[in-house]
Chains A and B, each alone.
Chain A
């Protein structure tokens, strides 16, 4: 029980003496103090009170001073029915789930809302154009990653670095392939699918695909069939062998 629930229980004649409340009061000096402050009023309100005031035995025309005013009008007024209907409508709207409540905005606020929406769309559009511009600009000049010593950077032909290339681990196949691109595929657009850049594609699989592409595109240049097992290790030496 928290302090809020304790206040509910404290002011509820039916549950003012529950064990949970007693336990909370034992541990919460603030609520204990509040109970002490409210005690006189609570004892009066929760004590015995007279039942409904009975009018049946009252003598006629006595005690009806103000009621005389009320009796001049009809017993059920239009005002009372209006109150009942308005109360029903208000309570129904309060009880409805927040999502289904109709939100009625004054016209001025509606216009302001639309203007704000327009501004927001324009701002988002501008941001999108800026981002696209940045992205396309960067794609032309791709940043060169910092490579570990001995690793052949992408785009550098491994033909000129045979001894180094031979020592490359198999998982560096991607760099090897990209170095092939520098010589074989740069000058003429291949009829092949673009270079695999997916992060989910393993380097070996990517290497296989690009080498296959090399085979196809370089058929006219005299490349023969390339033994699959030697593809990754040999890199661009294939060109030398055939030459």
Chain B
């Protein structure tokens, strides 16, 4: 897929702009999931993802096949999300709505099939729990985990995307996973006590 992305970008650089849609369709879901997890706001995440694609298109002439397209794409998204987080931290939030609320309504399964509905509910609950735990982690560790598990990047790509060494990227994922596991176990113990 990597070389395919590179070829697509080459053709887009040469003027076949309609091909950009292929890249958008390919990466949008994963980008949206990560952005949503980082910003905890579905609408804002959608805006950031849109801006990421626009930025890629506007600066398409700077793409170089020497690096992977997806590393570039994820780097832009990561940076935009960080910038957005900083902006949000500076400004008071107008409405604090959980992402879950919005997606819950949208992803509500057909009530006629109760099993499907239950499964969907469990999945959503698990997703919300995971996002909550990830938000408790240091940003660097949470971002590294998101890039590894949601974006499916290799450690080399995570390292390049986050501007750290390969060992640093692995350490971030490892430390984050350890903390996440501790948190999950602690949560489980508390619920058992109750």
Interface residues of A, Cβ cutoff 8 Å to B: 4, 7-8, 11-14, 37-42, 44-58, 62-71, 75-77, 79-81, 83-85, 87-92, 94-96
Contact = CB atoms under 8 A, between A and B. Distances in A.
B67 A91 contact: yes
Interface in B81-95: 83-84, 87-88, 91, 93-95
Contact of B106 (A47, A55, A75, A91): A55
Interface stretch (B15-23, B110-118, B173-181): B173-181
B140 interface: no
Interface residues of B, number: 75
A31 to B, nearest CB: 12
Contacts of A96: 66
B184 A40 contact: yes
Interface of B: 28-29, 32-33, 36, 39, 41-48, 50-52, 54-56, 58-59, 62-64, 66-67, 71-72, 75-76, 79-80, 83-84, 87-88, 91, 93-97, 99, 101-103, 105-107, 120, 123-124, 126-127, 129-130, 145, 148-150, 152, 155, 160, 163, 170, 173-174, 177-178, 180-181, 184-185, 188
A95 B66 contact: yes
9 contacts: A42-B177, A45-B180, A46-B149, A54-B103, A66-B43, A75-B47, A85-B62, A89-B62, A92-B67
Contacts of B76: 80, 83-84, 87
Contact of B54 (A55, A62, A76, A92): A76
A7 B120 CA distance: 31
B44 to A, nearest CB: 5
A84 B58 contact: yes
A38 B105 contact: no
Contacts of B105: 57-58
B126 A95 contact: no
B51 A75 contact: yes
A122 B58 CA distance: 55
A92 B69 CA distance: 11
A91 B123 contact: no
Contacts of B177: 11, 38, 41-42, 45
Contacts of B163: 90
B127 A50 contact: yes
Contacts of B55: 76, 80-81, 83-84
Given A62-B102, A64-B43, A68-B94, 4 more contacts: A53-B42, A57-B105, A66-B43, A81-B55
Contacts of B178: 37-38, 41
Contacts of B36: 52-53
A91 B184 contact: no
Contact of B148 (A11, A39, A76): A11
B29 to A, nearest CB: 4
B51 to A, nearest CB: 5
A13 B173 CA distance: 14
A25 B105 CA distance: 43
A216 to B, nearest CB: 71
B58 A58 contact: no
A63 B36 CA distance: 13
A44 B42 contact: no
B44 A49 contact: no
Contacts of A52: 28-29, 32-33, 36
